[in-house]
Amino acid sequence: MARKAGIIGGGVIGGGWAARFLLNGWDVAVFDPDPEAPRKVGEVIANAKRALPALSDGPMPPEGKLTFAATITEAVEGADYIQESVSERLDLKHRVFAQIQQVAPDTPIGSSTSGFKPSELQQNAANPATIFVAHPFNPVYLLPLAEIVPSAKSDPALIEGAKETLREIGMFPLHIRKEIDAHIADRFLEAVWREALWLVKDGIATTEEIDEAIRMGFGLRWGQMGLFETYRIAGGEAGMKHFMAQFGPCLTWPWTKLMDVPEFNDELVDLIAGQSDAQSGHHSIRELERIRDQNLIGFLKVLKDRNWGAGKVLLDHDARRRQAMPNPTPDHAQPIEMARLHVLPGWIDYNGHMTESRYLFASSETVDAFLRHIGADIAYVGTGYSYYTAETHIMHLGEAKLGEALTGTVQVLHADEKRLHVFVRIVKGDSVVATLEQMLLHVDMKAGKTCAAPAAILDRLLPIAEAHKALPRPEAAGRHVGQKK
């Protein structure tokens, strides 16, 4: 039975939480009095469906059920986890917590607040032990960080359980040991934001120039190494001590205005907003969100390939899902579903259709997931052995377009100690849009030649091959280019 998440507040952040839980198999109930909430949340979820599956190396779980509740009570009744994402008004949050705890006094309640401390949130609560900060970053469905901030009144066991829940949906819970206004990340961002406002106000740089300075330079370093690891490298072979000795004295120089705030008035707002409109106004917000998401997917997949930074979180999430998936049994009567994918903007050609290279990519993702299933995963490759593709034959039977969901299945046509012959179907809805027949050889990479796979792999592979003998042989199996149908 699917677990339930109650989401209170259906804005950008609440919608992101809803998408994160929903696409990871949770049922989600959203409460927001805004009559436009279903549309707004639906648009966020639509973006998430285009983006999040692209980060997974295996099948996504069956999507949960989404409902919009008429009351807070309806949203949180029976919930296993509750996330509050209402406006940053402490009195409003207190009223929301009071209503939640009338029906769910013992359920974990994470708050998306970017500024309030948990002790402030817990004031006058019926059960303060269940309320804590779970501060995410937009887009919640892609960025893994959630700052988890408890107080002295928090239940340590409940906090650990909440952190595990967030890990299960692919997030990275950063446990902040001491309460502090704005937590960790936003305090850092606020310092950068304050300095940026001064640079614009003083006419030194425009909003676009500041953004270029970040995204063309240090922002790329921060995205994969953070601040201190980046500066450690800057210190050369002598490391951080040398960096501190070299650049420490400049901290006393009056370079920045971090302790001073520009007057927040209409003139400053118009200046910033006008420059921002000139910089990005030719894109709608939804277009910018999609551009952002596709860029993030690219960055995150590179980090995942290298098991680095946020990529480690993605690999761990894949591993958790694989452990939770039921293992296919020898008697199943159909090809094994191994991958779920969505056609992304970079996958389509000038005709608006999915390009040939991406069908090969979809097949590769499908077969890679199958290889992991039989034990030939990245750890196995590290021992010096792997399956190599020797031959692939692709047939295009239909069309796939931007945003469409695809499923990759594997049917084992033959397997022995050295060879693996598979038939991959790329399916859209009820129709097969492409098939790929593939022959793989088990290889000793050091010797550069084929060899027998070990018993640990064959014990998982051969029963599947035996079970698949009962399946009808695909008509396209064994076809060659130009052969008549």
What pLDDT is stored for residue 58 in this prediction? Answer: 67
353 with 416, same domain? Answer: yes
What pLDDT is stored for residue 331 in this prediction? Answer: 47
Q: Give how far the C-alpha of residue 362 lies from the chain's centroid of Cα atoms, to the nearest Å.
A: 19
Q: What is the rounded CA–CA span in Å between residue 276 and residue 286?
A: 16
Average pLDDT of span 202-225: 92
14 with 163, same domain? Answer: yes
Give the tens place of pLDDT for each residue, 125-164: 999 999 999 999 999 999 999 999 999 999 999 999 999 9
Average pLDDT of span 324-349: 72
Q: What is the rounded CA–CA span in Å between residue 263 and residue 268?
A: 8
Average pLDDT of span 376-380: 91
Give the lowest-confidence range in 109-113, 247-251, 309-313, 438-442: 247-251
- Tell me the pairing of strands 385-396 and 419-428: unpaired
- pTM beyond 0.95: the answer is no
Whether 484 is covered by a domain: the verdict is no
Give the tens place of pLDDT for each residue, 277-301: 898 888 888 888 888 888 888 889 8
Whether 301 is covered by a domain: the verdict is no
351 with 419, same domain? Answer: yes
Q: Give how far the C-alpha of residue 205 lies from the chain's centroid of Cα atoms, to the nearest Å.
A: 34
Q: Is residue 376 a contact partner of residue 386, using CB atoms and an 8 Å limit? A: yes
CATH classification of the domain holding 433: 3.10.129.10
Average pLDDT of span 250-256: 72
Whether 477 is covered by a domain: the verdict is no
Whether 309 is covered by a domain: the verdict is no
Would the pLDDT of 170 be above 60? yes
35 with 168, same domain? Answer: yes
345 with 449, same domain? Answer: yes
Would the pLDDT of 380 be above 90? yes
Final residue of a domain: which of 282, 316, 350?
282
Q: What secondary structure does DSSP assign to 455-481, as a single string?
A: HHHHHHHHHHHHHHTTSPPPTTTT--T
Looking at the DSSP assignment, which residues form a beta bridge with residue 422? Answer: 412, 438
Residue type present at position 472: P
Would the pLDDT of 40 be above 70? yes
Whether 320 is covered by a domain: the verdict is no
Whether 299 is covered by a domain: the verdict is no
Instruction: Give 330's pLDDT tier (boundaries 50, 70, 90).
Output: very low
CATH classification of the domain holding 22: 3.40.50.720
Whether 60 is covered by a domain: the verdict is yes
Which domain covers residue 383, as residue numbers? 329-468
- 224-227 long-range contacts, CB within 8 A, separation 24+: 224/299, 224/303, 224/308, 224/309, 225/309, 226/309, 227/188
For residue 465, what are its two tokens? 């091959």
What pLDDT is stored for residue 247 in this prediction? Answer: 77
Q: What secondary structure does DSSP assign to 206-227, as a single string?
A: -HHHHHHHIIIIIHHHHHHHTT
3-state secondary structure of 390: strand
* Range of 227-241, 338-352, 394-408 with top mean pLDDT: 394-408
Would the pLDDT of 209 be above 80? yes
148 with 210, same domain? Answer: no
Residue 57 burial by Cβ neighbours in a 10 Å radius (0-12, 13-18, 19+): buried
Q: How much of the chain exceeds pLDDT 70, in percent?
A: 97
103 with 147, same domain? Answer: yes
What pLDDT is stored for residue 323 in this prediction? Answer: 76
3-state secondary structure of 16: helix
Looking at the DSSP assignment, which residues form a beta bridge with residue 396? Answer: 434
The answer for residues whose C-beta is within 8 angstroms of residue 327's C-beta and 6 or more apart is 373
158 with 210, same domain? Answer: no
What pLDDT is stored for residue 12 in this prediction? Answer: 94
Average pLDDT of span 97-116: 97
43 with 147, same domain? Answer: yes
30 with 156, same domain? Answer: yes
Would the pLDDT of 59 be above 70? no
Instruction: Give 84's pLDDT tier (boundaries 50, 70, 90).
Output: very high
C-alpha neighbours within 13 Å on the C-beta side of residue 468: 21
Q: Is residue 100 a contact partner of residue 8, using CB atoms and an 8 Å limit? A: yes
Q: What is the rounded CA–CA span in Å between residue 411 and residue 364?
A: 14
Q: Is residue 451 a contact partner of residue 410, using CB atoms and an 8 Å limit? A: no
Looking at the DSSP assignment, which residues form a beta bridge with residue 444? Answer: 385, 449
Whether 31 is covered by a domain: the verdict is yes
User: CA separation (Å) from 128 to 84, 87, 97, 119, 181?
Assistant: 15, 20, 9, 8, 19
What pLDDT is stored for residue 326 in this prediction? Answer: 59
Top pLDDT among 259 and 96 is at 96
| Count of domains for the chain | 3
152 with 233, same domain? Answer: no
Task: Report H helices in 235-355.
Answer: 240-247, 266-280, 285-305, 310-324
Average pLDDT of span 198-210: 94
77 with 161, same domain? Answer: yes
